[in-house]
């Protein structure tokens, strides 16, 4: 368990992995080792103090922090390192599928890796059943070093939804409750949940679920202000998020949706949310975290942007390896990211500030060759950029981005 979480659990009366064991209270049997390194020792410690592990989750204070959203494919460890450098406070691993973790799939376990720069870090789980989710939480509790575990109840994709996971849990309250309570019971770190407004448009469910989630022991909830049906069409409903802040209180609510400038972030904070989560905004411009913290627009140059890509490539080769396989993996993930980066319009070229996330970026000529190349919506141009950083692509190379995630056709 990381330091912050140990502090939080100590605050909530639960002790922590390294708290209190060396100086037992009078009448309390000393614990064998100086540190409480396993969950069993932790329970033994509580038992000796005549305390049960609280069924309510431990607190998680992330107030005012900037949270980089969990992002399948794009929110890999090298990308998160980039965002950390630009000021992201909280990071989270890409969604990991509970059953794949239980089956021991190496690629799924790799999604839980944390870089030392990620000082407030969580992992996200997806699953539909209380028994497997609780089992998985128990396994994570013993094996990974995280500050919180998040449950993905916002995932809209058919594959997940049809099995009763992701967003479907918003309509399966009995199972949802068992999952949250069950996981909470076995975790020593706070449990958080990410939800949407609801499944269908104009059928908001979040305001009714939030008080329940609070009672079930969720430490924090993030609300993406759109329904499953909406996907990325229409703007996130921040008016509704504001209503939900009250429904969730005193449990902290993070708001999520459409933040691409410091003005967007300021408006979002005015709804009373404890903090904001940023997804596509970080993919389009990871320096958004700096812009928010410094309350400014950054007219970043194409060479500065290329330097960021160079760093990503370096981190990628460190993470995935610098052999042929590692290079090609780094390239794939770079290309996925470039499919978002090309939507950024440089500040100095905008007629009206700031850029909005739901507006189609216009075709424009950059201030130099590189800026124009970076604005290209063509996969062939993204491949050219990858070749500048990683050398020529292998023969017959093709690339199709996995995500679209925009409001326009
Ligand atoms: C490429 C991509 C991958 C995503 N992967 C996840 C994920 O693994 N888990 C999750 O809860 N949400 C995921 N989301 C949703 C985002 O976390 C976020 O809720 C959504 O994009 C709305 O925020 P935004 O308007 O700031 O983009 C993903 C979004 C995108 C664009």
What pLDDT digit, counting tens, does each position of 369-381 carry? Answer: 999 999 999 999 9
The pLDDT value recorded for residue 231 is 87
Ramachandran angles phi, psi of 385, nearest 5°: -65, -40
Atom 22 (ligand 1) nearest CA: 257
The token duo for 347 is 């500040």
Helix or strand run (H / E) with residue 181: helix 173-186
Task: Of 9-13, 141-145, 301-305, 395-399, give the lowest mean pLDDT range.
Answer: 9-13
Domains of the chain, CATH where assigned: 3-48 (no CATH), 66-294 (3.20.20.70), 302-390 (no CATH)
Q: What is the DSSP string of 121-171?
A: EEEEEE-S-HHHHHHHHHHHHHH---SEEEEEE----HHHHTTT-GGGGGG
- Residue 8 buriedness (CB in 10 A; 0-12 / 13-18 / 19+): buried
Q: Which two tokens stand for residue 125?
A: 């789980």
Asked if residue 229 lies in contact with residue 215, where contact means CB atoms within 8 angstroms, the answer is no
Ligand 1 contact via 69 beta carbon (within 6 Å) = yes
Q: Which of 83, 155, 244, 342 is catalytic?
A: 155
| Residues counted in the chain | 409
Question: How would you class 330 by CB atoms within 10 Å of its CB: exposed for 0-12, middle for 13-18, buried for 19 or more?
Answer: buried
264-292 per-position pLDDT tens digit: 999 999 999 999 999 999 999 999 999 99
Asked whether the beta carbons of 160 and 176 are under 8 A apart, the reply is no
Task: Judge whether 155 counts as a catalytic residue.
Answer: yes
Mutating to test ligand 1, I would choose from 68, 71, 95 the residue with most ligand atoms within 8 A of its C-beta, which is 71
Kind and range of the H or E run holding 292: helix 288-294
Task: Find out whether the beta carbon of 74 lies less than 6 Å from any atom of ligand 1.
Answer: yes
pLDDT, the chain, mean: 88
Q: Judge whether 165 and 154 are in contact, CB under 8 Å.
A: no
Listed in sequence order, the residues at least 6 apart from 403 whose beta carbon sits closer than 8 Å to its beta carbon are 72, 73, 74, 336, 339, 340
**How many A from CA of 287 to the centre of ligand 1?**
18
Terminal-to-terminal C-alpha distance of the chain = 44
List, in sequence order, every residue forming a beta bridge with 398; answer none if it has no partner.
none
pLDDT at 88 over 50: yes
- Separation of 194 CA from ligand 1 center, angstroms? 10
280: CA distance to ligand 1 center in Å? Answer: 7
Question: 68, 92 in Cβ contact below 8 A?
Answer: yes
Compute the average pLDDT of residues 28-43.
36
Joined together, the tokens standing for residue 158 give 């058919």
DSSP for residue 65: -
Tell which atom from ligand 1 comes closest to the C-alpha of 260. 26
CA 21 to chain centre: 33
Does any ligand 1 atom lie closer than 6 A to the CB of residue 256?
A: yes
Return the residue whose CA atom lies nearest to atom 21 of ligand 1. Answer: 279
Distance in Å, CA 255 to ligand 1 centroid: 13
Contact 235, 358 (CB under 8 A): yes
Residue nearest to atom 2 of ligand 1 (CA): 71
Contacts for 196 with CB less than 8 Å, ≥ 6 apart: 153, 154, 156, 167, 170, 206, 223, 224, 225, 226, 227, 228
Round to whole Å and give the CA distance between 121 and 149. Answer: 9
Partners of residue 191 on adjacent β-strands: 149
**Which two tokens mark 247?**
């429904």
Does the beta carbon of 154 sit less than 6 angstroms from any atom of ligand 1?
yes
Check pocket membership of 280 for ligand 1, CB cut-off 6 A: yes
The arithmetic mean of pLDDT across residues 135-153, rounded, is 97
Q: Which residue has the higher pLDDT, 343 or 59?
A: 343
Ligand 1 centroid to residue 328 C-alpha, Å: 24
Chain segment 219-254, per-residue pLDDT in tens: 999 999 999 999 888 999 999 999 999 999 999 999
Tokens read off for 291: 């812009």
The atom of ligand 1 lying closest to the CA of 257 is: 25
Ligand 1 centroid – CA 207 distance (Å): 21
Q: With a 6 A CB cut-off, is 257 part of the ligand 1 pocket?
A: yes
pLDDT above 90 for 6: no
């Amino acid at each position: 368990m990381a330091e912050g979480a140990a502090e939080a659990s100590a605050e909530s009366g639960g002790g922590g992995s390294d708290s209190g064991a060396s100086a037992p209270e009078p009448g309390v049997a000393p614990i064998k080792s100086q540190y409480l390194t396993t969950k069993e020792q932790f329970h033994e410690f509580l038992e000796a103090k005549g305390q049960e592990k609280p069924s309510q989750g431990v607190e998680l204070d992330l107030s005012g922090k900037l949270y980089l959203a969990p992002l399948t494919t794009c929110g890999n460890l090298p990308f998160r390192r980039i965002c950390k450098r630009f000021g992201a406070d909280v990071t989270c691993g890409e969604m990991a599928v509970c059953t794949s973790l239980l089956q021991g799939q190496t690629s799924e376990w790799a999604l839980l890796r944390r870089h030392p720069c990620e000082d407030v870090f969580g992992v996200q789980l997806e699953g539909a059943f209380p028994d497997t989710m609780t089992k998985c939480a128990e396994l994570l509790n013993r094996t990974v070093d995280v500050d919180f575990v998040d449950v993905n109840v916002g995932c809209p994709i058919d594959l997940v939804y049809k099995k009763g996971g992701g967003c479907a849990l918003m309509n399966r309250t009995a199972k949802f409750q068992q999952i949250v309570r069950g996981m909470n019971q076995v975790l020593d770190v706070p449990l958080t949940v990410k939800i949407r407004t609801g499944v269908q448009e104009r059928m908001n469910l979040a305001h009714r679920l939030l008080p329940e989630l609070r009672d079930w022991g969720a430490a924090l909830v993030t609300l993406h202000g759109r329904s499953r049906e909406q996907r990325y069409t229409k703007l996130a409903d921040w008016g509704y998020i504001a209503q939900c802040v009250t429904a969730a209180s005193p449990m902290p609510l993070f708001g999520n949706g459409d933040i691409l400038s410091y003005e967007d972030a300021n408006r979002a904070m005015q709804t009373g949310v404890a903090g904001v989560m940023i997804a596509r905004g970080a993919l389009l411009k990871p320096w958004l975290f700096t812009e928010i913290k410094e309350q400014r627009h950054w007219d970043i140059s194409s060479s500065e942007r290329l330097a960021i890509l160079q760093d990503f490539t370096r981190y990628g080769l460190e993470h995935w390896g610098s052999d042929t396989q590692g290079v090609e993996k780094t390239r794939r993930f770079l290309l996925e990211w470039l499919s978002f980066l090309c939507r950024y319009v440089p500040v100095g070229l905008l007629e009206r500030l700031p850029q909005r996330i739901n507006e189609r970026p216009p075709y424009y000529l950059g201030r130099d060759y590189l800026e124009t190349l970076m604005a290209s919506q063509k996969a062939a141009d993204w491949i050219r950029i990858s070749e500048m950083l990683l050398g020529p692509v292998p023969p017959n190379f093709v690339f199709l981005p996995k995500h679209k995630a925009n409001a326009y056709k």
